[in-house]
Amino acid sequence: MPSHAYLVLEDGTEFPGTPFGAELESLGEVVFNTSMSGYQEVLTDPSYCGQIVAMTYPMIGNYGVNPDDVESARIQVAGFVVKEYSKTYSNFRASMSLAEYLRQGGIAAMEGVDTRRLTRHIRDKGAMRAGIFLDRKGALERLTAHPKMDGLDLASRVFCDRPYEFGRAGLKRPPIAVYDFGVKTNILRLLDEEGFAITVYPGNTPLKKAIGDGANGVFLSNGPGDPDAVEYAKTLVRDIVKEEIPCFGICLGHQLMALGLGGRTYKLKFGHRGANQPVKNLETGRVEITSQNHGFAVDIESMKGMDDVEITHVNLNDNTVEGLRHRRLPMFCVQYHPEASPGPHDSRYLFRRFREMVAPR
């Protein structure tokens, strides 16, 4: 194992450290996550495709990893950066160390990085291209050639190849189509708990296919990349409006619904990634503490003047749009992650709301 590694940002800033994952270089967009736990769920969340994730919590790896706390079939991040990697782990569910997990997944990782300084730099300058390098020679040239996140359809890199069923089946379970743009496993688990018969479809599947298979509702999943680049999803939302079929969207699904309804999206300076984002429900006045992971947001100005669309939730940190609903049709969406994993469970009522839309008990 090499003794040194370097996180190099496209503005030339360098952060030295020590490698502890796979012995390779990795390029992506560097972002930070403020969660105190849940690093395995973060690593396997498809929404992090193409990103190097830095954890702000200072010690990571102390409870190891296990086969159950995964949000997809593989590690999705482009790289992983921490202040201190705990070489000793202790948890009755653990099956291996974090370092071994990263090496098996072929993911570059660094420890010993001043993550406080890195986080402040990202907040000041914005999320940007970066790389984990074992040799700094030519690093900036390689970064310059790497594509930026803007304009990238990363959903097509992570969604499933063919439709599949998830969870329990049964004649009394209302069938829904989950459109996979990078869906997290815990979303599917909660939809299963609500009593749906779930079929997961690739994100570019025509709506007529899902309806022909018997779907009574549509779920638009989370996912990575620039929502404006996912052209096939805009067509999907417009078809959902025509069919007036119940629809619920989360994260990227929220952004795609807004685009399909005629709104716009834009890239946030450094995004929202963590498990303690305060969101106000404008319908009830209650504040929900939410788990979030996104770098793009819905342009609130683009939604004003739409008689059929109502903003239902706002972020109390920066007043960005966190939820929408259609006034006339059974369609709603949220920017945050009500399924959490990791994070609080304040917003799980949204899954029950979707069930009542599709098939009232």
3 state SS of 149: coil
Cα Rg for the chain, rounded, in angstroms? 20
Cα angle: 237, vertex 242, 248; to 5 degrees:
45
Q: Give the span between the Cα atoms of 107 and 266, in whole angstroms.
A: 29
| CA-based nearest residue to 30, from 88, 83, 80, 70 | 80
Q: What is the enclosing helix (H) or strand (E) of 214? A: none
| CA-based nearest residue to 230, from 186, 260, 198 | 260
Write down the residue that tokens 């319908």 correspond to.
Answer: 283
Q: Give the span between the Cα atoms of 252 and 293, in whole angstroms.
A: 10
Which entry of 49, 247, 251, 333 is annotated as an active-site residue?
Answer: 251
Cα angle: 40, vertex 41, 44; to 5 degrees:
85
Catalytic residue flag (residue 251): yes
DSSP letter for 203, please: T
Query: What is the C-alpha end-to-end distance of the chain, expressed in Å?
Result: 58
Which residues are CB-neighbours of 144 under 8 A, at least 6 positions away?
Answer: 10
Per-residue tokens: 22: 């796979």
Q: Give the span between the Cα atoms of 187 and 110, in whole angstroms.
A: 30
Which entry of 10, 29, 288, 339 is annotated as an active-site residue?
Answer: 339
Which entry of 121, 254, 294, 337 is annotated as an active-site residue?
Answer: 337
Q: HSE (CB half, 13 Å, CA atoms) of 183?
A: 25
Q: Give the span between the Cα atoms of 198 and 191, in whole angstroms.
A: 8
Which residues are CB-neighbours of 328 under 8 A, at least 6 positions away?
Answer: 308
Cα dihedral 158→352→343→7 (10° resolution): 20
Catalytic residue flag (residue 160): no
Write down the residue that tokens 């300058």 correspond to.
Answer: 125
- Residues annotated as part of the active site: 251, 337, 339
